[in-house]
Amino acid sequence: MDYPPPILPRKGGRDELSGIEARYYVGPIVGYKFLIGPVDFLKGELGLDYVKEDYTNNTSSDFLRGRAFGEYEHRFSGVNKFVQSVEYLHNFKDSEKYLVNAVTGIVTILSSNLSLKTGYEVHYVNTPVPSTLKRTDTVFSASLIVNF
């Protein structure tokens, strides 16, 4: 996964299931590639962000956040691959308000121009705002990719 340059402000989208109206964050990220193939790939990233969140219940918060990210990729044959990533986001203002995101995916080549990508995502918010929301949100996705 590639991210925008770490110096530019970034805006997250509206996420009503998580109670987020808007999220803005800016900060540096450093990363290292531990394994660089040709079959197995492993990378890690650490970062520090200043975050401002506007919630759907008309409240807002700003805080310093730490980020730890890891991604593993295994290529089976050619470009067929398995990908697993985990991200931990720590709120330094209130340590009970952390987030964990995990994504598991498989990409399978069907023909020279067609591939299938399936994925399963788990998003965990330890202390959602408002507190009536669920802590865990999951998404299953399937995509047909056409290459020209």
What pLDDT digit, counting tens, does each position of 116-148 carry? 999 999 999 888 877 778 889 899 999 998 988
Contacts of 140 (CB under 8 A, 6+ apart): 118, 119, 120, 121
Cβ contact 60:53 at 8 Å = yes
Contacts of 111 (CB under 8 A, 6+ apart): none
DSSP 3-state assignment of 13? coil
Give pLDDT, residue 107.
92
Distance CA 138, CA 148 (A): 32
CA-nearest of 79, 101, 82, 80 to 90 is 101
Average pLDDT over residues 86-95: 95
Phi, psi of 21 (to 5 degrees): -85, -45
Distance CA 117, CA 54 (A): 33
Confidence band, pLDDT 50/70/90 cuts, at residue 5: very low
pTM: 0.81
